[in-house]
Chains A and B, each alone.
Chain A
Amino acid sequence: MHPIFEKGGKLGWLHSTADAFDTFLAVPGNVTRKGAHVRDAVDLKRIIILALIAVIPAALFGMWNVGYQHGLAVGDPRINLLGNWWFGFLHVLPIYVVAYAVGLLIEFGTAQIRNEEVNEGFLMTGFLIPLILPVTTPLWMVGLATAFSVIFCKEIFGGTGMNIWNPALVARAFLFFSYPNQMSGSQCWIALRKGETMLDASTGATPLALDGAAQYGTSWWDLFLGTVPGSVGETSVLCILLGAFLLVWTGVGSWKIMAGSVAGALLVGWLGHIGGVTDIPAWMQLLYGGFAFGTVFMATDPVTSCQTECGKWLYGLLIGMLCITVRLFNPGYAEGMMLAILFANTMAPLMDHCVVSVHLSRKNKKLKTA
């Protein structure tokens, strides 16, 4: 680092910022001072960048889908790989710019105030926020939601690693409750150029909101590929599976949480199906809406999920079951994933507490008999 940024230097007050750029460029030459003399080569930057790479397929596909849905809406159903992607990219890019600019500004600012190193956590949050919003979300809302979530969900708790709820989901929840008109319905999912109007025949609503997708001609294959309207990154189950594979392979995301969530969704979906609540078979529930995206990228956030192995199963199950329960019994708001995860985030410490208490009481009994 340039000495001007060192403590006591002219720009010493920018120490955290300079350090952030410095450590971004190179692993610093810091050596261990206490404890273990050698350390593992892994750091949080590495873990977070990996999680981010896992989301990239879904993000790229989401951009393409924005263009494709636009084509469908204006009566041009051709599949133009690059053209559609470029259209989507131009519409999603501003959301990214705003989310990152606002979030990183606050992150750097708070790190500066606290005189700490800048945390990498927002790299991931900022990457997720645009992917879980409708593409037509006004930019000022994106900025407002990002600021709200970073400040009130993360920084006031002490920064990355201390938060209770997933910041990206809090941003979405903030918008959902503050500006419901822009967050649901059949208009928000399709980006249009100025002056364009949607064909009457096309419906811009997500398959989930329509319920009983078959009658609208949405096949499971379309849902799996993701060529349906929805939040930018959530539609393609295929791309999300690619990400899931990377997360599980590297161990960054817990397979137990993912499996628990899928099991919970299948269970409630099956009960609903045989109970006559819905016509949708249980396995189809896994393809709808934000379930896959939430299960793979949101529920597995290590900060806000359960700490214990047993707790992870419970946590996953709770998310899956709650999500489908909301879908089946709440016609007004069909997308249950966001609130299911936020609720499970809230309950995670309690679940951990129970798991640990049971474990410890068993251990104490063993100690007494030994």
Chain B
Amino acid sequence: MSGTIVLKKGLDLPVTGTAERVVCKSIVPRTVAIEPSVFKGLSPRLLVKEGDAVLCGSPVLADKTHPEILVTSPVSGTVKAVVRGEKRKLLAVVVETALRQEAAAFSPDAADAASVRKSLLESGLWLQFVQRPYGVVADPDATPKCIYISTFGTGPLAADSVFCLGNELGAMQAGIDALSKIAPVHIGVQEGAVFAGLAAAGVHCFKGPHPAGNAGVQISHVCPIAKGETVWTLSPEGLAAIGKFFQKGKLDLRRRIAVTGPAAIEPAYVEALPGTPMTELQGFWGASAEGVRIISGDLLSGQTVGAEGYIGFRDNQVTLVREGTEKEYFGWIRPIRWKQFSTDRSYFSWLMPWRRYEMDTNLHGGKRAFLMNDAYYAKFLPMDIYPIFLVKACLAGDIEKMEKFGIYEVLPEDLALCEFADPSKNDLQEIIAGGIDLMRKEMA
């Protein structure tokens, strides 16, 4: 193992609502939703219709361009509804869970690259991969430069991966062994974590504040992506699921999910499946969800799903936060705003690093043009990138400049902290996502 890579730039958001390290509930959801919108780059074709019986692991959706890419059901039961939105866009396939869970039988083979690929595609585990650049579904015909797994999250209130996966090291190792057939597997670990004991082509130790746990940040330090190269990333949960699949021949996506956030009542962990409806977590927000934003993911890059939504396919965290709809009289001119957090030295929260804040979703200001210069934002991005130059290139739609300034290396989540700190209140993640979409269209 190489020496620890210490990242200085970034920020650990001091927000209240860390989940206590106990599993307070093991959820067997009554329904599970499969939402294709999570899989960027997938154009879904429906393989089932309402009323069909499915097994855990049987295909529900397939990709139109690569029909071998399958989305499979995480439970057995019957297809209850196919939810469509505008222009009949497929939003979700809802599966009602059967009382007796039956899993489709696979005979996974980890002998060589081709058989690993085939097994992963069949089981739907292929969708655990995120292909960089662009953060899309991995191309089954491509061979990546490496497969990268960051074994820890540093986002606000992130789930503790040692608590979630500490006793699945065997499965994770099996996963790494299987994936090594496709490409060298590199993992990023936190200093002193048990995952450092895993055997992989590269085990890289990182130390530092968020976004040190982002795969993109780690990749830029250990195997930077040049034009024309691809790297696949996956979550440690995904890796464990792949390992279990090769060990047992069954699809098992159950994972520990941290329910966190300033608005969560007794935040703790639950055991659930991706696609579990939020209604199963109702105890965490009490009688009424009014005034509470329910997010699948973290406070910086998660999706607002609401009480009627579902836990995202790749998420291991649910965050509950109050909507900040209250006005604050003369807020911006007050010398001290005790309850507000700011990284800017025009407030005093930097003098009290021990404090935790009960943040809400207030924007704290109006939208403006970029006024502060690049260095103001670069404090939050431990990558060799000029964030505002990149953002402006995306705004201008200038492909060459986007390429030059590093669009291949980032996903929107990497700039989430810059967005948090932006005094001009621009939606940087959306701008980067727009840039990525343009790149995909132009480079296709």
On A, residues with C-beta under 8 Å from B are 19, 23, 25-47, 49-50, 117, 119-121, 158-162, 249-252, 254, 302-303, 305-309, 312, 356, 359-360, 363, 366-368, 370
A303 surroundings in chain B (CB, below 8 A): 371
A300 CB to nearest chain B CB (Å): 10
16 CB < 8 A contacts A-B: A28-B327, A30-B362, A34-B430, A37-B304, A38-B15, A38-B156, A40-B342, A40-B422, A42-B423, A46-B333, A47-B423, A250-B345, A251-B346, A356-B389, A366-B224, A367-B226
Q: Contact between B366 and A117 (Cβ–Cβ < 8 Å)?
A: yes
Residue of A31, A49, A308 touching B362 (CB-CB under 8 A)? A31
Question: Per-position contact with A for B379-390: 1 when CB-CB < 8 Å, else 0?
Answer: 000001010110
Shortest CB distance B337–A (Å):
6
The answer, yes or no, to whether B323 is at the interface (CB within 8 Å) is: yes
B299 in complex: contacting residue of A36, A161, A363, CB < 8 Å:
A36
- B421 contacts which of A34, A40, A302 (Cβ < 8 Å)? A40
Cross-interface CB contact of B347 among A42, A117, A302, cutoff 8 Å:
A42
What's the Cα separation between A28 and B302 when bound, in Å?
24
Contact indicator A38/B420 (Cβ below 8 Å): yes
- Least distance between A271 CB and chain B CB atoms (Å): 30
| Residue among B344, B369, B389, B416 making CB contact with A40, cutoff 8 Å | B344
Contacts A31-B324, A158-B369, A360-B404 given; indicate if A308 touches B375 (C-beta within 8 A). Answer: yes
* C-alpha gap A27/B326 in the complex (Å): 9
Name the distance in Å between A341's Cβ and chain B's nearest Cβ: 16
- Contact of B343 with A40 in the complex, beta carbons under 8 Å: yes
Contact A44:B430 (CB < 8 A) given known A26-B328, A38-B321: no
A23 contact set on B, CB distance < 8 A: 365-366
Q: A26-B329, A27-B327, A29-B325 are in contact. Are A36 and B420 (CB under 8 A)?
A: yes
The distance in angstroms between the C-alpha atoms of A92 and B302, with both chains bound, is: 53
* Neighbouring A residues of B369 by C-beta, 8 Å: 119, 158-162
- Interface of B (DSSP majority class): loop
Instruction: Report the minimum CB–CB distance from B297 to chain A (whole Å).
Output: 9
Asked whether B344 lies within 8 Å of A250 as measured between CB atoms, the reply is: yes
Judged by a CB distance under 8 angstroms, whether B137 is at the interface is no
Is B419's CB under 8 angstroms from A36's CB? yes
**Is A47 in contact with B372, judged by CB distance below 8 angstroms?**
yes
B359 at the interface (CB under 8 A from A): yes
Measured CA separation A49–B424 after assembly (Å): 14
Task: Name the 5 nearest CB pairs between A and B, nearest first.
Answer: A43-B365, A161-B369, A27-B331, A41-B340, A42-B344
CB–CB A37/B293 < 8 A: yes
Which residues of B have CB within 8 Å of A50?
Answer: 346
Query: Whole-angstrom distance between the alpha carbons of A306 and B389 in the complex?
Result: 12
Q: Report the separation of the CA atoms of residues A330 and B290 in the bound assembly, to the nearest whole angstrom.
A: 70
Q: Which residues of the other chain, B, contact A26 by a CB distance below 8 angstroms?
A: 327-331
Given the interface contacts A41-B337, A251-B345, A356-B389, does A27 sit within 8 Å of B368 by beta carbon?
A: no
B106 interface residue (CB < 8 Å to A): no
Q: Render B406-440 as a binary contact track against A, CB cut-off 8 A, 1 for contact.
A: 00000010001101111111011110000000000
B361 interfacial by beta-carbon distance below 8 Å? yes
How many residues on chain B are close to A (CB under 8 Å)?
A: 74
Which residues does chain B contribute within 8 Å of A363, judged by CB atoms? 384
Task: Give the residues in chain B near A36, CB-CB below 8 Å.
Answer: 299-301, 416-417, 419-420, 429
Interchain CB contact under 8 A, B420 and A39: yes
In the docked arrangement, what's the CA distance between A366 and B384, Å?
11
- Asked whether A29 and B343 contact (CB < 8 A) given A37-B300, A38-B361, A307-B389, the answer is no
B362 and A46 form a contact (CB under 8 A)? no
| Closest B residue to A116 using CB positions | B367
Q: Which residue on chain B has the smallest CB distance to residue A362? A: B384
**Interface pair A42/B342, CB less than 8 Å apart:** yes
Q: Given A251-B344, A360-B404, A367-B224 in contact, is the A161-B424 Cβ separation under 8 Å?
A: yes
Find out whether the CB atom of A35 lies under 8 angstroms from the CB atom of B423.
Answer: no
Choose among A30, A44, A306, A366 the residue that contacts B371 (Cβ–Cβ < 8 A).
Answer: A44
Measured CA separation A47–B344 after assembly (Å): 9
- Whether the Cβ atoms of A119 and B420 lie closer than 8 Å is no
Q: How far is the CA of A303 from the CA of B369 in the complex (A)?
A: 10
Please state if A49 and B375 are interface contacts (CB–CB under 8 Å): no
Using A36-B429, A161-B424 as known contacts, list a sample of 9 further A-B pairs with CB atoms less than 8 Å apart, ordered by residue number in A.
A27-B362, A27-B365, A36-B299, A37-B299, A46-B346, A252-B346, A308-B375, A370-B223, A370-B224
Closest-by-CB residue of B relative to A348 is B373
In the complex, the chain A residue whose C-beta lies closest to that of B342 is A41
Q: How far is the CA of A359 from the CA of B374 in the complex (A)?
A: 14
In the complex the two chains form, is A42's CB within 8 Å of B333's CB? no
Chain B residues with Cβ below 8 Å from A251 are 344-346
Nearest neighbor of A367 in chain B, beta-carbon distance = B226
Interface residues of B in 50-77 (CB under 8 A from A): none
A47 touches B364 (CB 8 A): no
- The answer to whether A117 touches B368 (Cβ under 8 A) is yes
Query: How far, in whole Å, are A31 and B295 apart by their CA atoms in the complex?
Result: 14
**Which one of A35, A37, A360, A366 has the highest number of Cβ atoms from chain B below 10 Å of its Cβ?**
A37
Known: A36-B416, A36-B419, A356-B389. A45 touches B332 (CB 8 A): yes
Q: Which residues of B contact A19 (CB under 8 A)?
A: 366
Asked whether B341 is an interface residue with its Cβ less than 8 Å from the other chain, the reply is yes
A308–B373 alpha-carbon span in the complex (Å): 8
B79 in the interface (beta carbon within 8 A): no
Query: Which residues does chain B contribute within 8 Å of A305, judged by CB atoms?
Result: 373
Residues in B with CB closer than 8 Å to A360 are 404-405
A27-B328, A42-B344 known; A307 vs B374 contact (CB < 8 Å) = yes
Contacts of B156 in A (CB 8 A): 38
